[in-house]
Chain A
């Protein structure tokens, strides 16, 4: 897994061999703002799945600093009680500059955990803004966690979050404003039409392990819906397409940049663009033409 995260060439070869053995695990995405209690909720979910005899993999993602490149990966702290359970495998990843809430390696790490035989893989993503919605193209079911009292923030987060949520959980529901938040979310979903009406809104108090049974059941129900309806198939195809495009994007970029480095060098090219000696479109087209030419 480490080799995949660090993008070592040999690692991809191993992944290719593993790939036919993937596709069995159920992938559950948990996302939400920092401080919404995602990790505590995940901890409760792990316990629930373990009690049911399932093997659980967890991928917990935290942001890398754009300035230092380092990261503090602290989600494990909330999952202490599973630390020595061999049926639980927790891996913490840093985003390493990747946008969207996941790391570049997340899909690959999930694939490895899948091949390892984990029944459920929980992906806990970086606190979400409007753009951090990659989780939906990775998970079968996406759960978005919010907390009461966000007030105007609910308005701000609605676009991204409401579009990706299969289930909305109002955590810390023992706080003031919980029912109001549920009502607000419900109203916003109503405005969005038929598909949105199937989104379940739940309340929970993760630190007290309240609402967990209902959440597990809602996830189960959603999963069953996916299995029985074309939506599940559609999402699987979408996941495969998104993965292909993401890989093409990053591999093509890597090759193109390598081409530039072999030539005048990136710094020199960038200098020419900044000095208006060449425009960025022409520069990019020229690099691509050279790449294709040498195929």
Chain B
């Protein structure tokens, strides 16, 4: 009987992005790695994301942003999470993010940014190294 907790990850696409193929690919890869992925799809407002994160008691929030609006959306989501009392919930992102912006986001508290070309293995390794200890601990 395994007593290892299942890691629950919220995968959302905030804002006005119209395509979700990238997010779906990541969601599928994470599920295949044994995680439980709550996939909320397109057009999520920061508050919707925070509300879902709390109700679903997730360990990690993943945002997929291809629209270029990452500098507004990440902080907005972080703020929404804080408002709901879960400011220590790790947040990672994927999508089109230029290097300078990536540095700024990481400095602002986003835990990881995975740009196109990152393998799903890298993401999973990161989760096991950074999220698993918090969940088990």
Contacts and interface: CB of A to CB of B under 8 A. Distances in A.
Contact of B40 (A1, A76, A89, A91): A76
Contacts of A73: 36-39, 56
B56 A65 contact: no
Interface string B29-67: 011111111111101110110011001110000000000
B27 interface: yes
B33 A76 contact: no
A71 B37 contact: yes
Contacts of A230: none
Contact of B30 (A70, A89, A92, A94): A70
A69 B57 CA distance: 18
Contacts of B38: 73-74, 76, 92
Interface in A40-65: 64-65
A15 B39 CA distance: 28
Interface residues of B, number: 29
B5 A77 contact: no
B57 A71 contact: no
Contacts of A92: 38, 56
A90 interface: yes
Contacts of B43: 80
A68 interface: yes
Contact of A72 (B1, B28, B56): B28
Among A64, A65, A94, the most chain B Cβ lie within 10 Å of the Cβ of A94
A65 B8 CA distance: 15
B6 interface: yes
B27 A72 contact: yes
A7 interface: yes
Given A76-B52, A84-B51, A91-B55, A68 B34 contact: yes
B1 A254 contact: yes
A5 B135 CA distance: 14
B39 A72 contact: yes
Contacts of A69: 6, 34
